[in-house]
Amino acid sequence: MYAHDVPPWYSGGKYGIFIHWGVYSVPGWGNTGKRENYAEWYWWSMNKGPNTTDQTWEYNLATYGPDHNYDDFIPDFTASAFDPKEWVDLFADAGANYFVLVSKHHDGYALFDLPAHVSQRHSMALPPHRNLLGELFDAAERYQPHLHHATYFSLPEWFNPAYAPYGFGQWPGGNATNPYTNATLPYTGFVPVADYVTDVQLPEMLALSEAGTEIMWCDIGGPNRTTECSPTTAAARPATSTRPSTRATRTCRCASGRAAWAWTPTATATTAPRPTTST
């Protein structure tokens, strides 16, 4: 980890904007004060059942009823007020040198386009039917070309059926159940695959690399093939890009709590240490 080189711009960047935005933004709730929890963990918190510190199970029941499931929030994730130019202008006005967008959190919903054989659980195939990450990256290139763009990416998914063979701890894989009725729930946009790591995780990471992410933060750890997520070359950058070729260098850091695992394109390890804490 300590031998891993970060891009020079990141070392000197000092200030960046980290953005959590996804289906979990629809309920936008994680309680407050001493009961506060991560709002982006809404689905997991709801499924833990009653009498937890954050009381998400009780809140969801009182607000949406027992037959409302997490994926029912997807149609309401409309991004109707999303103006990527406004976002990047705000970042620049705030003095930021880079931004990091959560491209996919543990709920498995991606904010970027993917091939139909990989997944349909993303913002192009499902509402709002927009490539949100692509729009933001494009706006940065066009209006604020000094802004570097990076991504957060969750390696596992809580309830992806294909992740069940790899499941551990708070990332068990397999279909979720309704925490009030115990009914097994479909995983919206799921495409059956032979292997989650090879057929879902790796293609998603390659898609992010091709989209132009300059740093990819791979959260949690667990089985992965991050060494095969090779850098996108400068030649593959859009012709309209004003970025120097040195900015086309990609780097990735896989981390879980205090345990971290960094990789470079020349690394040989293909799996990260099993995590013991959550991020």
Domain boundaries, the chain: 8-263
pLDDT of 13: 83
Segment 71-78 shows an average pLDDT of 98
pLDDT reported for residue 226: 83
Contact 212, 137 (CB under 8 A): yes
pTM of the model: 0.85
Alpha carbon distance 105, 49 (integer Å): 21
Mean pLDDT of 75-96: 98
**pLDDT confidence of residue 135:** 98
Higher pLDDT, 237 or 268: 237
pLDDT category at 266 given cuts 50, 70, 90 is very low
Q: Half-sphere exposure (CA, 13 Å, Cβ side) for 220?
A: 21
- The larger pLDDT score, comparing residue 1 to residue 246, is at 1
Give the span between the Cα atoms of 255 and 272, in whole angstroms.
9
* HSE-CB of 90 using CA atoms within 13 angstroms: 11
The predicted structure's pLDDT at residue 230: 52
Domain 8-263: CATH superfamily, name plus number:
Glycosidases (3.20.20.80)
CB-CB contact of 108 with 160 (8 Å): yes
CB 129 within 8 A of CB 183: no
The predicted pLDDT at position 5 comes to 73
